[in-house]
Amino acid sequence: MSSFEEAVIQRINQLEREVERLKRWERPIGGGGVTDHGLLSGLSDDDHTQYLNTTRHDITSRHTLGTVVPHDDHGNLDGLKDDDHTQYLNTTRHDTTTRHTLGTVVPHDDHGSLSGLDDDDHTQYLNTTRHDTTDRHTLGTVVPHDDHGSLSGLKDDDHTQYTKHPASSTDNAIARWDGTGGRTLQGSSVIVDDNGKLSGDGLDGWVYDTDAWYVQQISPTYQFKIVSKDVRYRFPKGTKIKLVQSGATKYFYVIAAAYTSGNTIVTITGGSDYTLANEDISGQAYSYAAASQNFPQWLNYTPVWSADGGTPVLGNGTLFGKFSMIGANIHYLGELKLGSTTSVGTTTNWKFSLPISFVDDYRYLGQAFIRDSGVATYMRSINLEKNLDADNIILFLPMDSGSNKTRISYNDPFAFGNGDIIAWDIWYAI
């Protein structure tokens, strides 16, 4: 049994004895006794120690708050600012560097009030230093990314999947590829105006060859070559040729093309107007157009006058010719005019050379005008036959019937002298 219980029993026994005593000896005079608890004396005495009073209740052994306080209202407790609850976090235990990696003790009611906001405390995230690095961005420079226009290196060729434009261009010029990479554009000299009309060097009728031309030979014929290619198809007979040597533009006709030893060999003629020199060729071009820009169409040619029985001497006479080509067809005009010092002697069977020899077996006919100055005019038919002579006009056939004359001599059809003329006009093919 506890001491408390023993005290209670002892007190009860005392009260029982007191009651018995009162019954026998101390009964009040007049009888009846006290019937109202409030009329008892000693009511403020601590007669009931078995119950808790303020002294026995508000003790630290019964309350872990650490002080004796009234419990009717928490706000009435004293020591509310004391750190009595160390199992909980207060400002001191909460805002510590061991609990917060920000590196400083700050109030947490507003992120903006934190100190050290400029510190790099969150290395798991990208900042400008970790973001704008060359190993993350192939642009090759550290740049802000809020605006593409603010990037550096915008003129660098970083986007090889796109086509490049030139630094400048000509208004209305047709664009063309630059090089073989398939990416770079460049301008051209061909212009399309706002009305759709074309102009420019590209419309001059010439095809400018990107292959280099090299001189093959300059005698007895002119030839150039294109190395390591068979491009004979570009140069059919009669193709017009333009090239530049020593700053001078020269024009020729193609008379043959062959493929020899891995090279294309092109034979050309410039008549007596243009010669091929043994030097570099530039500005090379060819044309099939009927009227290529600046091409002379007719090339001058000085015929060779020869005969049997001697060599005529032209003296102060004139001898000239010219020819043009349409494909393999040649139109040849020529004229001899004797002067006062021209000497023909007793030569016979006169002949006049062709600008280009013909090679097939066809008979080509032309006409000749023969003038005995101040006396008479004779018309003859020119006859070209390969088996007779493929390089010269030799047959001047009378047009009147019954004559077997075929040649011209110093005295046939008349005795030639000062002022007399022989002129011819013939088409033939090579």
Confidence of residue 138 (pLDDT cuts 50, 70, 90): low
CA dist list (Å): 40 to 9, 19, 388: 23, 15, 180
Please name the amino acid found at residue 375.
V
Q: Which of 82-96, 329-343, 368-382 has the lowest mean pLDDT?
A: 82-96
d(C-alpha 102, C-alpha 344), whole Å:
122
Of 144-153, 285-294, 397-406, the range with the highest mean pLDDT is: 285-294
**Shortest CA distance to 302 belongs to which of 275, 263, 281?**
275
Confidence of residue 93 (pLDDT cuts 50, 70, 90): confident
Please name the amino acid found at residue 332.
Y
Instruction: Provide the greatest CA pair distance for the chain.
Output: 211
d(C-alpha 346, C-alpha 238), whole Å:
39
Q: Is the pLDDT of residue 352 over 70?
A: yes
Predicted local confidence at residue 63, as pLDDT: 66
Confidence of residue 116 (pLDDT cuts 50, 70, 90): confident
What single-letter DSSP state applies at residue 305?
A: E
d(C-alpha 60, C-alpha 68), whole Å:
7
Predicted local confidence at residue 65, as pLDDT: 57
Query: What is the DSSP pairing of strand 191-192 with strand 198-199?
Result: antiparallel
Q: Is the pLDDT of residue 153 over 80?
A: yes
Gap between the terminal Cα atoms of the chain: 153
The owner of tokens 């047009």 is: 399
For the segment 382-389, the average pLDDT, to the nearest whole number, is 90
Predicted local confidence at residue 276, as pLDDT: 98
d(C-alpha 102, C-alpha 92), whole Å:
16
4's enclosing H/E stretch is helix 3-24
More confident residue, 44 or 196: 44
CA dist list (Å): 378 to 337, 392, 412: 15, 21, 11
Confidence of residue 26 (pLDDT cuts 50, 70, 90): low
Query: Cβ–Cβ contacts within 10 Å for residue 15, how many?
Result: 11
Q: Is the pLDDT of residue 275 over 60?
A: yes
- Domain 207-287's class? mainly beta
d(C-alpha 255, C-alpha 355), whole Å:
11
Predicted local confidence at residue 306, as pLDDT: 97
For the segment 264-287, the average pLDDT, to the nearest whole number, is 98
The owner of tokens 């119950």 is: 51
Cis peptide before 220 (omega within 30 of 0): yes
205: left (phi over 0), alpha (psi -120 to 50) or beta: left
Q: Is the pLDDT of residue 1 over 80?
A: no
Task: Give the pLDDT confidence of 9-22 residue by residue, as tens digits.
Answer: 888 888 888 888 78
Q: Is the pLDDT of residue 77 over 80?
A: no
Q: Is the pLDDT of residue 136 over 60?
A: yes
Task: Give the pLDDT confidence of 321-336 residue by residue, as tens digits.
Answer: 999 999 999 999 999 9
Predicted local confidence at residue 70, as pLDDT: 58
For the segment 239-245, the average pLDDT, to the nearest whole number, is 98
Task: Give the pLDDT confidence of 163-196 residue by residue, as tens digits.
Answer: 877 888 888 888 888 888 888 888 777 888 887 7
Q: Which of 228-237, 257-266, 307-316, 402-411 has the lowest mean pLDDT?
A: 402-411
**Shortest CA distance to 331 belongs to which of 296, 287, 297?**
297
Cis peptide before 303 (omega within 30 of 0): no
User: Using an 8 Å Cβ cutoff, are 408 and 398 in contact?
Assistant: no
Q: Is the pLDDT of residue 154 over 90?
A: no
Predicted local confidence at residue 6, as pLDDT: 84
d(C-alpha 427, C-alpha 366), whole Å:
7
More confident residue, 380 or 37: 380
Please name the amino acid found at residue 42.
G
- Three-state secondary structure call for residue 18: helix
User: Using an 8 Å Cβ cutoff, are 272 and 301 in contact?
Assistant: yes
Domain map of the chain by residue range? 122-158, 207-287, 299-429
Q: What is the mean pLDDT of the chain?
A: 86
259 Cβ partners below 8 Å, 6+ apart? 230, 232, 265
Task: Give the pLDDT confidence of 305-320 residue by residue, as tens digits.
Answer: 999 999 999 999 999 9
Task: Give the pLDDT confidence of 199-234 residue by residue, as tens digits.
Answer: 776 678 999 999 999 999 999 999 999 999 999 999
For the segment 297-305, the average pLDDT, to the nearest whole number, is 97
For residue 129, count CB atoms less than 10 angstroms from its CB and return exposed for 0-12, middle for 13-18, buried for 19 or more.
exposed
The owner of tokens 């900042």 is: 127
Of 111-120, 176-185, 233-242, 395-404, the range with the highest mean pLDDT is: 233-242
More confident residue, 396 or 44: 396
Q: Is the pLDDT of residue 117 over 70?
A: yes
409 Cβ partners below 8 Å, 6+ apart? 307, 347, 348, 349, 350
d(C-alpha 123, C-alpha 206), whole Å:
69
Q: Is the pLDDT of residue 35 over 70?
A: no
